[in-house]
Amino acid sequence: MTDWSQIEDWDRSYYLHNTQAKDEHQFTAVDRQDGNYIYLSNGTKLLDFQSQLISDSFGHRHHRIYNEIKNAMERYGHVFFGMSHEYRARAAKLIINDIVNSSNPKWAGRVRILASGTEAVENSITIARLFTGKQIILTQAHSFHGLTVGATMLRGYRNNITTDPKENTVRDVPGFPTAGFIPIPPPERFDFDKDFLPSISATEAMIKAVGAENIAGIITEPMFGAGGLANHHEYLKSIFALCKKYNILWIDDEVLCGFGRLGEWFGYKLYDDICPDIMAVGKTINGSSLPAGAVIVNNEISDFIENARWWSGSTWDGHPIICASIVGTLEMMLEENYLDKIKQKGKYLKEKLDMISEKHPSFGSVGGHGLFYAVDLVNKNHQPIISDDRWTSFQGDLSKHPNNIVGQECAKEGVFLGGFVPNTIKVGPPFTIEENEIDKGINAFDKALTVIDKMFC
Ligand SMILES: Cc1ncc(COP(=O)(O)O)c(C=O)c1O
């Protein structure tokens, strides 16, 4: 038997905690997880209606993924990136051939498998800079791409590339060791009622001001994950068009949306005839059964890197057990037609959200696709309840923020649900959710919204 008071004491004393100060830290210990449920140490059973961080897309400890991991562990421990192994090749073939290039445009050349979404983003930026020889990356306000800074900026080996291994043609990462990130406006929301997007004009103005000749790439999210914001349908198409017009790489951060979350293999697939140059993925790639991420690059960049000698890598690149978890996940998704399931269940979920939207004055709007919806909560004047909204810097008493109140109220009903920014609830259940479980989640959300109505409307 676990002594939970001892565990709490050690956790409070020695762990370096995320997002909560010592005095406000709530000890919420998970005893075990099974399928779509989390069992807390105090006996509470919670339906995971948010897939943890919109990450655990097949619930917890899915048997198919875990069997693949177990089998791999009978054969492999760790293999460093200088050697190959069965699962790395199988995972790469599945990702490039069977999934990304399974429909037009067949743009993807190669993939490198990493240990987190953040690393996938870091690699994307470095690759864009090395390939173009340019430094600047344009990045959207309100977006989220990870929470690290600077590993390659610490002097030493510095991720440089020898473009012609027979000659002395070393290229440092442009901009090293400075940052070189310039913000562009966030996209208009899905319900913006015009097709002319001011965000795109402002982005174009920024490109002209900075000079396209200095810009390596524009990084965007297909739908904001942390920020919970569904784009206007013209936005990504316009970003793609700008990238083509000015010869800038489009870096598509699909860490949260990729591999089916939005009902298509990737978010960019919601729109016809566009594709990224570089794509960062993670989370659903293996249902977050193990830490994983990957960077996928187009054919031209693949050739550039493969013909060069790029002095790069992490201890964990292409780790056999991570690759096995990816193989198990993606083979299952293909065999069991997961995209169809996501679309079907997503339709049911959206209908239920629309139904409760009519009952609650605090229910401002709902945007999303597949099995990811962002609900924006408003006050009686139909304005964001916490006025900073997505510009929040997480100050003050966060327990009074609607996202946290909804979290507390849903927990009372046995449902795990909440959000990151103050006014936005992120509904992103696992792909393994059943209709009766969607009903349970919606019922809890419905009750929580009654509390929000009373407080703010
Ligand atoms: C869009 C996006 N990019 C990058 C990341 C960072 O990924 P990870 O947490 O796996 O490092 C996240 C994490 O939530 C994300 O949502």
Average pLDDT over residues 382-399: 89
119 CA: nearest ligand 1 atom: 11
What is residue 156's predicted lDDT score, i.e. its pLDDT? 56
Distance CA 445, CA 170 (A): 56
Choose which residue among 255, 296, 372 to substitute to test ligand 1 binding: the one with the highest number of ligand atoms within 8 A of its C-beta: 255
Ligand 1 binding pocket mutation candidate from 18, 53, 256, 421 (most atoms within 8 A of CB) = 256
Q: Considering only CA atoms, which of 445, 431, 424 is closest in space to residue 229?
A: 424
**Band of pLDDT at residue 20, cut at 50, 70 and 90:** confident
Domains recognised in the chain with CATH numbers: 4-61+338-456 (3.90.1150.10), 76-335 (3.40.640.10)
Which of 22-36, 154-168, 284-298 bottoms out in mean pLDDT, i.e. has the lowest?
A: 154-168
pLDDT at 157: 57
Peptide bond into 291 cis (omega under 30): no
Asked whether 260 and 370 are in contact (CB, 8 A), the reply is yes
Name the DSSP class of 96.
Answer: I
For ligand 1, the distance from its centroid to the CA atom of residue 288, given in whole angstroms, is: 11
Write down the pLDDT at residue 155. Answer: 52
Say how many CA atoms lie within 13 Å of 36 toward its Cβ: 21
Which of 114, 137, 144, 252 is the best mutation target for the ligand 1 pocket, counting ligand atoms within 8 Å of the beta carbon and taking the most? 144
What digits encode the pLDDT tens for the residues 193-236?
A: 988 999 999 999 999 999 999 999 999 999 999 899 999 999 99
Mean pLDDT of 136-153: 81
Q: How confident is the model at residue 242 (pLDDT cuts 50, 70, 90)?
A: very high
CA distances from 163 to 41, 146, 308, 310 (A): 55, 29, 4, 8
| Ligand 1 pocket, residues with Cβ under 6 angstroms | 53, 116-118, 121, 144-146, 221, 225-226, 253, 255-256, 282, 293
**Alpha carbon distance 200, 270 (integer Å):** 19
Strands (E), 333-430: 363-369, 372-377, 415-416, 424-427
Does 410 have pLDDT greater than 90? yes
* CA 347 – CA 369 distance, rounded (Å): 9
H or E segment at 114? strand 108-114
Say what angle helices 299-306 and 117-132 make with each other, to 10 degrees: 80
How confident is the prediction for the chain on average, in pLDDT? 94
Q: What is the pLDDT of residues 316-327, one digit of tens each?
A: 999 999 999 999
Specify the pLDDT at position 25. Answer: 85
Per-residue pLDDT at 146? 87
Adjacency order of strands within the sheet including 415-416: 30-34, 37-40, 45-48, 415-416
Residue 132 has pLDDT above 80, yes or no: yes
Q: What is the mean pLDDT of residues 246-259?
A: 98
Rounded distance from Cα 144 to ligand 1 centre (Å): 7
Does residue 40 carry a pLDDT above 70? yes
Query: Do residues 419 and 51 make contact, with C-beta atoms less than 8 angstroms apart?
Result: no
Residue-level pLDDT at 178: 61
- The pLDDT, as a whole number, for residue 68 is 98
Q: Burial level of 350, CB count in 10 A (0-12/13-18/19+)?
A: middle
Contacts of 164 (CB under 8 A, 6+ apart): 307, 308
| Least confident stretch, 89-98, 168-177, 271-280 | 168-177
Residue pair 452/398 in contact (Cβ under 8 Å)? The answer is no
Characterise 436 by phi-psi region: left (phi > 0), alpha (psi -120 to 50), beta (else): alpha
| pLDDT range class, residue 334, cuts 50, 70, 90 | very high
Query: What confidence score (pLDDT) does residue 151 get?
Result: 56
Concatenated DSSP letters of 214-279? GEEEEEE-SSBTTTTBPBPTTHHHHHHHHHHHHT-EEEEE-TTTTTTTTSSSSGGGGSTT---SEE
Question: Residue 401 and residue 385: Cα distance in Å, rounded?
Answer: 8
Q: Give the CB-side neighbour count of residue 373, counting CA atoms within 13 A.
A: 30
